[in-house]
Amino acid sequence: MPYTFDKLLFGPSGVPHSSPKPDTIAGIKRVAELGLDCMELAFVQRVSMGPEKAAKVKALSEELGIRLTVHAPYYINLNSPEPEKIEASKVRMLQAARVGYACGAESICIHAAFYMKAAPEVVYQKVKEGFTEVTEILKKEDVKVWMRPEVMGKLTQFGTVTETVRLSTEVPGVLPLVDFAHLHARSIGEYNTYDEFCQVLQEMKDGLGQEALERLHLHVSGIEYGPKGEKKHLILEESDYNYKDLMRALKDYKCKGFVICESPNQEDDAMLMKQTYEAL
Ligand SMILES: [Zn+2]
């Protein structure tokens, strides 16, 4: 994939709330006005954008220097017991990648699977099969996007740091999407100190090299959690999330790439993190 970064980029998940219209074009303009750097196109219900609109999104984002990522639909489960649901999952991954690429997006976030009470290794192999097939098709079509299995927040969901790093070493075109809030929720309160953040970045560096840290795609927000992990996303300052030390760890590991904010006040918290990071 040809994409490189000269720094960390901060932006909201989806169109900012303060956008005058809930539309991608207006959203990108608003991100630029706010002085943010990037935006995630939230194709979370379905991928509905046509080619003309996608071309407009691409032209505007290039003009304004706002880089884009995509969140693929939630309805993906590469470990479904029903074969037709696995096929539908792959189709959704392909659609998100193709339309995202037409928009100029570089990186696609995917909720890969649920364990469905199966052994993690069995699930891993099914996820690997799905990602292998999808990335081979995208390569043939010259769709240049990173496909990113997300580190998930619920214990029923496939996606630990170790699983996503391993998949990235075994399938070309794949890199992890580390959701630091999910990690905090999944571990029921851990991963909230400088040392623990460094441990995650070190695991990525050991498995995938410094290059992976220089093309990150992260999700960060406050989060509420219980014994089963994630409950809901929160505003950073209304949560226990130690984003200040996360920013410090990202700086110390010379990280670059996308930091997408999924707080309920996404653009405000994206700005808070950007300012905190830049003041270091
Ligand atoms: Zn997600």
CB 115 within 8 A of CB 76: no
**Start-to-end CA span in the chain (Å):** 30
Structure tokens at 10: 């901060």
Report how far ligand 1's centroid is from the alpha carbon of 76 (Å): 11
Give the residue among 267, 230, 280 at the shortest CA–CA distance from 40: 267
Report how far ligand 1's centroid is from the alpha carbon of 244 (Å): 22
Report how far ligand 1's centroid is from the alpha carbon of 278 (Å): 26
Report how far ligand 1's centroid is from the alpha carbon of 110 (Å): 7
Report how far ligand 1's centroid is from the alpha carbon of 71 (Å): 7
In a domain, 269, yes or no: yes
Q: How far apart are CA 89 and CA 74, in angstroms?
A: 9
**pLDDT at 1 (0 to 100):** 86
Residue 216's pLDDT band (boundaries 50, 70, 90)?
very high
In a domain, 3, yes or no: no
Average pLDDT over residues 100-118: 98
Q: How far apart are CA 203 and CA 240, in angstroms?
A: 24
Report how far ligand 1's centroid is from the alpha carbon of 117 (Å): 21
126-137: per-residue pLDDT in tens? 999 999 999 999
74-90: per-residue pLDDT in tens? 999 999 999 999 999 99
Expressed as residue numbers, the domain containing 157 is 8-278
In a domain, 2, yes or no: no
Report how far ligand 1's centroid is from the alpha carbon of 109 (Å): 7
Report how far ligand 1's centroid is from the alpha carbon of 277 (Å): 23
Report how far ligand 1's centroid is from the alpha carbon of 56 (Å): 25
Average pLDDT over residues 245-259: 98
The answer, yes or no, to whether residue 172 has pLDDT greater than 90, is yes
* Residue 170 identity (one-letter amino acid): E
Report how far ligand 1's centroid is from the alpha carbon of 232 (Å): 12
Average pLDDT over residues 203-226: 98
- Give the DSSP letter string of the chain: -----SSEEEEEBSS-TTSSSSSHHHHHHHHHHHT--EEEEE-SS-----HHHHHHHHHHHHHHT-EEEEEPPS---TT-SSHHHHHHHHHHHHHHHHHHHHHT--EEEE---B-TTS-HHHHHHHHHHHHHHHHHHHHHTT---EEEEBPPSBTTBS--HHHHHHHHHHSTTB--BEEHHHHHHHTTS-S-SHHHHHHHHHHHHHHH-HHHHTTEEEEE-EEEEETTEEEEEE-GGGS---HHHHHHHHHHTT--EEEEE-STTHHHHHHHHHHHHHT-
**pLDDT at 48 (0 to 100):** 87
CB 100 within 8 A of CB 41: yes
In a domain, 88, yes or no: yes
Report how far ligand 1's centroid is from the alpha carbon of 125 (Å): 21
Report how far ligand 1's centroid is from the alpha carbon of 272 (Å): 21
**pLDDT at 84 (0 to 100):** 98
**pLDDT at 265 (0 to 100):** 97
In a domain, 157, yes or no: yes
**pLDDT at 119 (0 to 100):** 97
CATH code, domain carrying 22: 3.20.20.150
Percent of the chain with pLDDT over 90: 99
Beta strands 222-226 and 257-261: pairing type?
unpaired
In a domain, 52, yes or no: yes
* Residue 89 identity (one-letter amino acid): S
**Total domains present in the chain:** 1
The answer, yes or no, to whether residue 109 has pLDDT greater than 90, is yes
The answer, yes or no, to whether residue 167 has pLDDT greater than 90, is yes
Report how far ligand 1's centroid is from the alpha carbon of 192 (Å): 19
Average pLDDT over residues 252-268: 98
In a domain, 64, yes or no: yes
Report how far ligand 1's centroid is from the alpha carbon of 29 (Å): 24
Report how far ligand 1's centroid is from the alpha carbon of 145 (Å): 17
Task: Give the mean pLDDT of the chain.
Answer: 97
In a domain, 143, yes or no: yes
Q: Give the CA-trace dihedral at 6, 12, 13, 17, to 10 degrees.
A: -160
Report how far ligand 1's centroid is from the alpha carbon of 221 (Å): 11
Report how far ligand 1's centroid is from the alpha carbon of 150 (Å): 6
